[in-house]
Amino acid sequence: MQLRYGLNPHQQATAAPIGRPPFRMINGEPSMINLLDADNGWQLVSEASRRLGRPVAASIKHVAPAGAAAAGPVDDVIMDNWPVGDAPTPVLAAYLRARDADPRSSYGDLVAVSDPVDLELARFLGGVISDGIVAPGYQPGTVELLRRKKRGTFLIMEADSEAAIPAEELRQVGGLMITQQTDHDGIGPELLPHLEADDRDTALLAMITARHTPSNTVVAARDGAAIGVAAGQQSRVDCTRLAVGKASAWWFRRHPATRSITGPPGTRRQDRLSLQLALAAGDPTPLEARQLHAELGDRLPMTADRAAWLARLDRVIMVHDGAIPFRDNVDHAARIGTTMIIEPGGSTAADTVEQACTEHGITLIRTGRRLFLH
């Protein structure tokens, strides 16, 4: 397959199957990044769906999930931002929840869903900025709808659910060819003993999301959806702080003041979301600060109000792909109502980390399973 280009437009690239291809192109001409996104997204949603027994969706950007979620309740904030009717179908609900984790990062994403695309999802995608989709099938009429996106260049890929993942993966690095076993080790309930069903499903989703996110990775999740995914940080505590910040912004987008923001007359939906995120994250640009003050005035939340609202966030499960090296990771996690931390264990500071969890009332689970991806 001749690709549109490699990682950059000046790099030519081709792709050839090794055995049975994992998916086929229905529409569009992918780049190398598009294929990497599609492969990683499909592996994530198919694995998570098998474990949870319900549809799962992911919003992929630059080979990392901006969000991932199982089908479940769609709250009023999501409905305010993306009106889709009173009862979204399960596959649409999963994607709405995934895109809601970080709607700024999901702008121009590659969509991955574990179940066939239905008309409701296809219609929704027609109204948002997205580059393509990978799914195991397409209901009648959906491909025709999706072909209209991006002047006919929207990528439509059909995953082969029966295609086997190779037992080994190869990578050429300089003058070396590295071969390693594919990471097939199961992530299942046996790693999470004694958890209630809801916590178990959220934890499994977060662990599978971490497995398919470039390391260092920390995933904050709640109610079957990732609400803060941090990827590719050199320092684990920086990764934790990033996940905490994203989860905090997700929660603060549910504050009445944030929900009331419409922006200046004629503001587009994505610009409105960006303005809401600027307030939610607490770091508006000078222009955004002026727009927020003009719209909210005395209703602009102050520091104490923000702290009180954040204190209401609870039941967050945090997953680390590697061992936690210092207690500061736990202290930061406690700021967003984290009730459970899952890590491989094995750090030299294991006792200190465990003590910090006890002080904050956080359940600590050590799985012995590292989930690095590079």
Task: Express each pLDDT in 117-165 by its tens digit.
Answer: 999 999 999 999 999 999 999 999 999 999 999 999 999 999 999 888 8
Cα separations (Å) of 185 from 51, 122, 173, 209, 283? 13, 34, 25, 14, 40
pLDDT tens per residue, range 325-374: 999 999 999 999 999 999 999 999 999 999 999 999 999 999 999 999 99
| Token pair 């294929």: residue | 35
Q: Report the predicted TM-score, pTM, of the whole model to 2 decimal places.
A: 0.96
pLDDT for the residue 362: 98
Domains 23-180 and 187-250+311-366 share a fold: yes
pLDDT for the residue 165: 84
What is the per-residue burial (b if ≥16 Cβ within 10 Å, else e) of 159-179?
Answer: beeeeeeeeeeeeeeeeeeee
CA torsion sign, 212 to 213 to 217 to 218? Answer: negative
Active site residue 61: yes
Q: Is the pLDDT of residue 185 over 80?
A: no
The one catalytic residue among 34, 40, 216, 329: 216
pLDDT for the residue 23: 92
Characterise 228 by phi-psi region: left (phi > 0), alpha (psi -120 to 50), beta (else).
beta
Residue type, 98: A
Mean pLDDT of 227-246: 98
Contacts with 210 (C-beta within 8 Å, 6 or more apart), sequence order: 217, 218, 219, 319, 320, 321, 371
Confidence of residue 315 (pLDDT cuts 50, 70, 90): very high
Confidence of residue 300 (pLDDT cuts 50, 70, 90): confident
Mean pLDDT of 70-83: 94
**Could you give the CA distance from residue 115 to residue 136 in angstroms, rounded to a whole number?**
6
- The residue length of the chain stands at 374
Active site residue 332: no
pLDDT for the residue 206: 98
Q: Is the pLDDT of residue 17 over 90?
A: no
Domain boundaries 187-250+311-366, corresponding CATH code: 3.40.140.20
Active site residue 8: no
Confidence of residue 184 (pLDDT cuts 50, 70, 90): confident
Joined together, the tokens standing for residue 34 give: 């598009």
pLDDT for the residue 164: 83
Q: Give the mean pLDDT of the chain.
A: 95
The one catalytic residue among 34, 40, 61, 81: 61
Active site residue 10: no
Q: pLDDT exceeding 90 applies to what percent of the chain?
A: 88
Q: Is the pLDDT of residue 82 over 80?
A: yes
pLDDT for the residue 302: 81
Mean pLDDT of 295-314: 90
Contacts with 79 (C-beta within 8 Å, 6 or more apart), sequence order: none
pLDDT for the residue 65: 98
pLDDT for the residue 19: 82
* For the chain, domain boundaries: 23-180, 187-250+311-366, 256-300
Q: pLDDT exceeding 70 applies to what percent of the chain?
A: 100
Domain 23-180, second-level architecture: 3-Layer(aba) Sandwich (3.40)
The one catalytic residue among 27, 62, 150, 360: 62
Q: What are phi and psi of 126, to 5 degrees?
A: -65, -15
